[in-house]
Chains A and B, each alone.
Chain A
Amino acid sequence: MGILAAILPSVTLLLAAGGEEGGGVHVSDGGALAQWAWLIVVVPLVVPFLIVFFGKRLPFGGWELAVGTLAFIGLYGTALLLQNAANPIATEFTVEVARIGSYAIEWGWVVDGLSIMMYFLVGVVGFLVFVYAKGYMEGDIRFTWFFASFTLFAGGMLVLVSSPNLIQLIVGWELVGLASYLLIGHYWEDHANVDAANKAFMTNKVADAGLFIGAIIMALSVGSFSFHDALAVVAEGDAGSRLAVFGFWAGLALFVGAMGKSAQFPLHVWLPDAMAGPTPVSALMHAATMVTAGVYLLGRLFPFYLDHAGIFAGGVRPIIMVIGGITLFFMGLLAFVQNDIKKVLAYSTVSQLGYMVAAMGAGAYTAGLFHLFTHAFFKALLFLGAGSVIHAVHSNDMSDMGGLRTYMPKTFWTFVVGTLALIGLFPFAGFWSKDEIIASLYAAGQDGSGAAWFVFALAVGGSFVTAFYMGRAVFLTFFGEYKGHAHPHESPTTMTAPLVGLAVMAAVGGFLNAPGIATPFTEWLAARRFPMGDHHAEAVNWGLAGLVTLVLLVAVFLAYRIFAPDAETQADRDRFEIPVLYPILRRLYYLDDLYLDGVVRPIMGPVARLVLWVDMVVVDGIVNGAGVLARALSRAVRGVDARVVDGFYDGLAATTGGGGSVLRLFFTGKVQQYAALGFAGVVVLAVVFVVF
């Protein structure tokens, strides 16, 4: 039957087989492992439904399905990573699900260095977080529902990173947004949590308007939604192409979308509030999923932004770099004044995302994504460590903590490893990834970019900021004497084991991309169907590294002096304050106030009420007024049966309850007469038409 031909999907296509394409990138098609990689995406989309419908009947309330899914993704991702390391893969598969005009709408999955890195990251970090979450969420009122949403969260991210085109990217993008909304608002009995969820969704929706517009401009310029087609146009470098005309605007609008998910100034405001969700959510959200989406998008379209020919989105890069620079420094400062340990980490994430974005802006593909990679491990570690602490002392507030290193040694030592990785101390993971970013900014500055020098300075300063707030957090939490009233205890093994696993990666992960020693990560990421065109440092710039290390040691030392562990200085450290700066930081640069009082409240209040008033009084008033006028006219013009229109309203006023009254209104002829009047008028006009 014809319906089948029309409705069934076109057969799956293998788009790019291996061989050489786009200037000598040697890639393979990945074989069966790549062909079946769609399972990575589909399984976590199906499992949430299974958890919702059957989870409550299972012995672990659906957790086993969730953690099994993540284990599967982690293993599959690892297998792909190993195969990619042995033989670089860059291929993609698509299924056409509709055609609109000449544009194909396709679902598919990309298997290349970038997406494999993300599969691995989501799977492995996700698995550890899910293991941890079982202990953390034990006894939660919505345990099963939580794991359904949590799996969907990972699933949405996998839809996003597997996408061969802009449409599927948008789908994954907003699925992640939906899942985050559900997770942040997990404790919806309290409206404050719902407000945090709404804030996250709405801030992202604002950015998504940019993403939509960028996707539209790009698709219409290229003639296809496909990333591959867009990058092919970029590779051709034709200055007369339509993408060259609109490249800047497409690039800028897409970057606005990236700013939302990756929490860049001034759209970062949702991320710290997202703490309202359970801690495992924060761990995953700040590490592998959601906030990495924006950086990932910049990586996916990297040649478009790098723009060797200088005709596409190269003009956007200084903007990207400066936004990243502002974010990494000034949003990091906000962590100085936070007393909630999770908020310290949240602003730290915003700041680290700034580093990644600045790197992409500086044209450092590998550096930006390597920091995304290492950061995922140590930030997940820090959040889970914080969760372990919160679990023990029943408070988020660091003033209820102190001295915990003796009560929970495993949590303490792993937290310290995470901290050292985050502040970038040699040889922990963060040292290698952050150093490469700073080196790329330096290189971009030497290439003559003034903006790069500015951002370089911010990035070095950012090292100080990072080390200072993390030092403060560690000293306040684990040193000194315990100030709370609970009975702190080490967390169960299901929670500490993931901490150890992540700590190992945070400690040694940097050697995956240590210039001069071994750089396999660079090669993994280079497995793309087009050359990325970024240049890599041959060796570490030890001068720069020494400078940064000096800066961060000073910061740690200062933090130690100020938040020193002995009890006598307790009052001093509580009073520690930098005049002028701290009051501004406490108000979060007045940005939240501006958005709330300057945008949200006026729109929801006076503006909306004004529109409704216009609708009810002015627009509707004109309509009703026309009716009244018609009645008056009909009185004046005796030629028209006044009773008709008059009776209309009289009938209205006279009718009281009972269905019969409307029938009466109709059958006594009032409405019919009105209709007759209307049609009489039409007939007259029709005659006029015929005559003329």
Chain B
Amino acid sequence: MEWFDNGWGLVLTVFLPLAGAIVLLAIPRTKEDALKGVALVTSLATFAAGVALLGRFDFSRAGELQLGMDVPWIDAIGARFHIGVDGISLPLVVLSTFITLLVVLYSWDHWPEPHNPKLLLALVLILAVGMTGTFVALDLVLFFVFFEVVLLPMYFMIGIWGDRGIREVPVFGWKLEMRLYASLKFFVFTLFGSAFMLLGFLALYFRSGTILPERTFDIVRLSELGAAGAFTGTFAFWVFFALFLGFAVKVPMWPLHTWLPDAHTAAPTVGSVILAAILLKLGTYAFVRISIPILPQEAANWAWLIGLLAVIGIIYGSLACLAQTDMKRLIAYSSVGHMGFVMLGIATLTSIGINAAIIGMVAHGLITGLLFFLAGSMAHRYHTRDMGRLGGNMKLMPVMGVLLGFAAMASLGLPALAGFWGEFMALMASFDPLDGLDPGLFRGFMIAGAVGTVLTAGYMLWMLREVNFGEPADEWLGKEFHDVGTFEWLAWAPLVIATIALGVYPKLVFGMTNDAVVRLVEQAFGG
């Protein structure tokens, strides 16, 4: 297994899906069984590689980067193919391979129109490359490449298979198809953010040359420089700002979130799941991996603003949920609130807060992934997402109803399920933020966040009331509804089990993250 430990294990995890996608392209469109088989084998093998990473990872040194490789890549600019995982990135890598597998399983008998399994599966696999790649990259150029790889497949996914309903844009009076509006908005927003992010990367690169003999894109070396106080003053301020724009769009943080409700709602089910479960985490992960270690002083200067935007996101997202009539859009807006808790944890710059953020990311991936699966399957059966027309689902599809109830309870942060830890620990961290941050302000954030948990419960229970309970409307009576099917079970049961397991036994994540986070905080901010 030496080859596996020397970075090839990670290479395998990241690039297997790419190989799978290439094979898919070679198979004719009509041979659907072959296409599905290849995609399934690929995603299974990738997930197995991810699990093998867990097996080979040395948890007693979870704070250190492991299983990596560092070889020259683009010599001209000193970019290196530097990858590796520590306790912070490993759970996210495993989550990515896990969700990809479930998405492929779910796709087995759920094909959005226009029918094109070949292209859809290829895009899912390419997305997987970008997602896992981002989590293992330790070079800014490599990170940027992976970060951008996800952009186009998702753009096509939304644009091709998205919702064809008409979206009326207020003020401007535009009327256009949802999928077109949403895909463009997603693309333009992310690109806008990425441009600034790249700018920040380049600035760090050039500035590193004034300190080191050679310029570097290496995240580890830049973090060491950052910890030593190399990046300060106006320079650091603007670089942090540029990175902030890039990452905050992806998270998304209020007020840069408006692409999200449209993209999540318009995307086909598997697209929504991948978006919510993984893509949003690229932004929050980047804050933890890049912004804080490389620019710790600026992180401390910006913390109050990040915290403020985070709690605005929590309250605002929850209130927007309460005004929704579209079930899928409600779930989409709920992500704004949940990611607000993740960012609140990060903004405290404490080990508790960042631990909370990471388990919050994983939990949100599992739970919101499940919610989007359910919303997709229900919309497929009812041909509507309008909660005014739905109702009495417990009578028509009891198993689906129970699962929706479970997912809603998990999403509102029921203790002993995965979502609780991220929420509660983020609030806890807010009471005692990093020394030097204004505790009074953060305690205010804590109270606002606690109010947010109440609002979250409010809209989730309201959704259950409208969708699950009551008598079914006349239009559904006498119609046949198929309750949860085989491939739905295969895709969802693991999410349910993982949600309970993480809730009852949070060491599954904290056991990896805690050492790494403590080390990161110590390196960035001292003792």
- Which A residues are within 8 Å of any B CB, using their own CB? 1-3, 5-7, 9, 96-101, 103, 105, 167, 170-171, 173-175, 178, 181, 185, 188-191, 194-195, 198, 201-202, 205-206, 208-209, 212-213, 216-217, 219-220, 603-604, 607-609, 611-612, 615-617, 619-621, 623-625, 627-628, 648, 652-653, 655-659, 661-663, 665-666, 671, 674-675, 678-679, 681-682, 685-686, 689-690
Complex Cα distance, B325 from A320, in Å, reads: 42
A604: chain B residues at CB < 8 Å are: 322, 458, 462
Complex Cα distance, B456 from A209, in Å, reads: 12
Evaluate contact between B191 and A674: CB separation under 8 angstroms.
Answer: yes
Evaluate contact between B414 and A611: CB separation under 8 angstroms.
Answer: no
Evaluate contact between A686 and B199: CB separation under 8 angstroms.
Answer: yes
Interface of B is mostly: helix
A96: chain B residues at CB < 8 Å are: 507
Q: Name B172's contact: one of A7, A195, A209, A624 (CB within 8 Å).
A: A624
B106 at the interface (CB under 8 A from A): no
Whether A175 contacts B469 in the complex (CB less than 8 A), given A7-B508, A679-B195, comes out as no
Q: Name A209's contact: one of B156, B198, B451 (CB within 8 Å).
A: B451
A679: chain B residues at CB < 8 Å are: 195, 198
Q: Give the number of chain B interface residues (Cβ < 8 Å).
A: 95
Complex Cα distance, B457 from A83, in Å, reads: 43
Chain B residue at minimum C-beta to C-beta distance from A681:
B195
Evaluate contact between B60 and A5: CB separation under 8 angstroms.
Answer: yes
B159 at the interface (CB under 8 A from A): yes
Complex Cα distance, B446 from A181, in Å, reads: 27
Evaluate contact between B322 and A3: CB separation under 8 angstroms.
Answer: no
Q: Name B512's contact: one of A6, A188, A657 (CB within 8 Å).
A: A6
Evaluate contact between B171 and A191: CB separation under 8 angstroms.
Answer: no
Whether A659 contacts B184 in the complex (CB less than 8 A), given A212-B450, A219-B428, comes out as no
- Name the segment of B50-58, B473-481, B482-490 touching the other chain: B50-58
Interface string of B238-258 (1 = CB under 8 A from A): 000000000000000001001
Complex Cα distance, B454 from A502, in Å, reads: 38
The 4 closest A-B pairs by CB, nearest first: A6-B59, A662-B159, A608-B322, A608-B323
B415: chain A residues at CB < 8 Å are: 167, 170-171, 173-175
B518: chain A residues at CB < 8 Å are: 101
Evaluate contact between A659 and B160: CB separation under 8 angstroms.
Answer: yes
Chain A residue at minimum C-beta to C-beta distance from B54:
A3
Evaluate contact between A659 and B161: CB separation under 8 angstroms.
Answer: yes
- Which B residues are within 8 Å of any A CB, using their own CB? 54-55, 57-60, 62, 114, 116, 155-156, 159-161, 164, 169-172, 174, 176-177, 179-181, 183-185, 187-189, 191-192, 195-196, 198-199, 202-203, 206, 255, 258, 261, 316, 319-324, 350-352, 355-356, 392, 394-395, 409, 414-416, 420, 424-425, 427-428, 431-432, 446-447, 450-451, 453-455, 457-458, 461-462, 465, 468-471, 504-508, 510-512, 514, 518
Evaluate contact between B470 and A189: CB separation under 8 angstroms.
Answer: yes
Complex Cα distance, B26 from A182, in Å, reads: 52
Complex Cα distance, B174 from A627, in Å, reads: 13
Complex Cα distance, B172 from A655, in Å, reads: 18
Complex Cα distance, B508 from A674, in Å, reads: 44
Whether A97 contacts B507 in the complex (CB less than 8 A), given A2-B59, A675-B191, comes out as yes
Complex Cα distance, B450 from A205, in Å, reads: 10
Evaluate contact between A611 and B323: CB separation under 8 angstroms.
Answer: yes
Complex Cα distance, B87 from A2, in Å, reads: 13
Evaluate contact between A194 and B319: CB separation under 8 angstroms.
Answer: no
Q: Name B446's contact: one of A216, A620, A656, A685 (CB within 8 Å).
A: A216
Evaluate contact between B506 and A97: CB separation under 8 angstroms.
Answer: yes
Distance between B478 CB and nearest chain A CB, rounded to angstroms: 18
Chain B residue at minimum C-beta to C-beta distance from A691:
B206
Evaluate contact between A216 and B431: CB separation under 8 angstroms.
Answer: yes
Complex Cα distance, B462 from A1, in Å, reads: 46
B164: chain A residues at CB < 8 Å are: 657
Distance between A21 CB and nearest chain B CB, rounded to angstroms: 29
B320: chain A residues at CB < 8 Å are: 608, 611-612, 615
A678: chain B residues at CB < 8 Å are: 191-192, 195
Complex Cα distance, B507 from A674, in Å, reads: 46
Evaluate contact between B198 and A682: CB separation under 8 angstroms.
Answer: yes
Complex Cα distance, B179 from A173, in Å, reads: 44
Q: Name A198's contact: one of B174, B322, B461 (CB within 8 Å).
A: B461
B392: chain A residues at CB < 8 Å are: 189
Chain B residue at minimum C-beta to C-beta distance from A191:
B470
Distance between B389 CB and nearest chain A CB, rounded to angstroms: 15
B323: chain A residues at CB < 8 Å are: 608-609, 611-612
Q: Can you name 13 extra interface pairs (CB under 8 A) apart from A6-B511, A194-B470?
A: A6-B512, A101-B518, A171-B415, A190-B470, A195-B465, A608-B322, A611-B319, A611-B320, A623-B189, A624-B169, A652-B184, A662-B155, A686-B202
